[in-house]
Structure 1
Amino acid sequence: MEAPREGRRGEAPWKKMSGEELEKQYSPSRWTVRRGPEETLRTYSEIGIEATRRARTSRRSLLDVPYGAGEGETLDVYFPEAAAAADAWPLFVFLHGGYWQSGSKDQSAYMAGPLTARGVAVVVVGYTLAPKGTLDQMVDQAARSIAFVQKRFPCNEGIYLCGHSAGAHLAAMMLLVNWPTERGVTPNLKAFFLMSGVYDLGPIVHTSVNAPLRMTPEDARRNSAQWHLEAASAKPGGPACPVLVIVGQHDSPEFRRQAREFFQAPQTTHRCVLSTCSGPGPGGEPLSPLPAACSPPPSSRQTLCRGGRRASFEDIPDVDHFEIVWKLTERDSVLTQMILKTIFQEC
């Protein structure tokens, strides 16, 4: 693995790192604080498997629903206990993590219990993992799955798109889609929850993560939401659609930098919300739209705030890269409550 070259002044910090340090920064299990790497990964998998098993035995569901003809192109739907006329539920659509090469919808229904108990249907999406799947293919599958969900449940009360880690990358790429032109449908997108994601894939090219992905620098840039926000011809859900960029206190410095730079807004010139959550609900003030005269940050990178989106940066205390998602099994966790408050517009 080739180490990144020495960066020039003003370049991203990762370009100044040794290959060894870059590898560590993009190895989330090496930054956990309560368990070792192997125990963390085992626990993460076990909690996901058990949450999915409980959801499948206790909730009405549709499993392995095809949204395409390709390998892995299926999704699971978990319904609330109470029936809704014309299937008019809010839909929480989840894209799992696993560095685009591991994980499964079959072990990722972490949030199905708490959300369906509050009247939210949960959709967990599968996609073709590397090395069989490419990044371009996965991004396309994410878009097709959302279009399918909208067509299958046309009376939904909003699609709330969430992704974790690699899934957050795929969810962020949905901000770039011109839905009517490219997909023939306009999904009823109401909010994005981007949890511990990677929005600039440039560093990944120089790590072992890239071995099954086989990304070139051109592939990485094409599939980096960070570099294309301003070129997006439409804002899914409109400018009032909130985008919550979420990161854990114990995520690695690089994951935290990626989240903050994707959101980035100097506090002196923006009304985007930066918050550190310390209670049962979202921290900081309620989300507010940007003023029309919002000044761009002094950076060539494209950010949510610079693009005029309604964005917040949510720093979840005392959780690592894996705990941030497995705590969605808990009804009273900070993030579960943040999601519910966003869906039901509770202040």
Structure 2
Amino acid sequence: MRLDAFDFDLPEELIAVRPARPRSSARLLVAEAGAIADRRASDLPSVLRPGDRLVLNDTKVIPARLTGTRRRGEAEARMDVTLLEPRGDGRWSALVRPLRKLSEGEIIVFPGGLSATFAGREGDAAILSFRAEEDFDTALERAGRMPLPPYIEGRRAADDADRTDYQTVWAREAGAVAAPTASLHFDEPLLAALRARGVGFTHVTLHVGAGTFLPVKAEDTDDHVMHAERGRIAPRAAAEIAATRAEGGRVIPVGTTAMRLLETAARETGMVQPWEGATDIFITPGFRFRASDALMTNFHLPRSTLMMLVGAFMGMDRIRGIYAYAIAERYRFFSYGDASLLVP
């Protein structure tokens, strides 16, 4: 399909730069059976059914943005670094700006006793070998900032509030450089109310990469190369999902990351299997969904792979109507924005 099929006009003032407080007070657009209802995330217990299962991504966002200094004699240059993926032995792939000003073997010094040696390039990324005066994770926690999306960072800098705001309440597997943002609407009171309603929870892990922020440059979706992300579905998680299916409950991924992981694991047999690896699944209209009965997700960037995914799930005509309604009703968009519950 042509990329412009996934385009729409969004007023800039609808782009959220801070989350709703409390988390579960965010608005929730429920699209089901051809109708649209305006609710709140806190209303989920009355929207979902006993026996439904929410699939939650338990990845933990690391403070992956670093600002350091490269020294060359008396000259200094500022270097902005975004960590992408660990390579073992203290090495990371990273986006470095300006990469052209860095020579192999040069050292970038960061605050808090952290430094990195430039060990070479890997496509558009750099390979950095890190050293810390103490534990790397501790040093990174001190020196790093939360990796907010460009459309937020262009309007304000990340601050201490983002260390909590841009993290789910169940985050436990460190490795993401972007949050599974639909999950940011859940707090402990909402989780307790959902348990009391008889809704189950299953945790899976997909480490969201910086590629989620990259624009689609190909004018035809067939020409786009999807970024890969590392994930895991444990045997217990697969068994919980299978039991829900057998008992007639709905399997509802919270976020496109959880959905992409489930659909990856179900591609061969139609059932979610235990799975571990890297997935570059690219979901566009015409995709056959095999693992997801509904989807809770935020409102996405125009011309993005996530717009393609929700268009595939709901149908393009339906999703265009949903987004037009959301804009007219002043829903807040993107990572810190409001949520939708999409039921085909």
Q: Do both proteins adopt the same fold according to a TM-score greater than 0.5, normalized to the shorter chain? A: no
TM, length-normalised to structure 1: 0.28
Q: Which has the higher strand share?
A: 2
TM, length-normalised to structure 2: 0.28
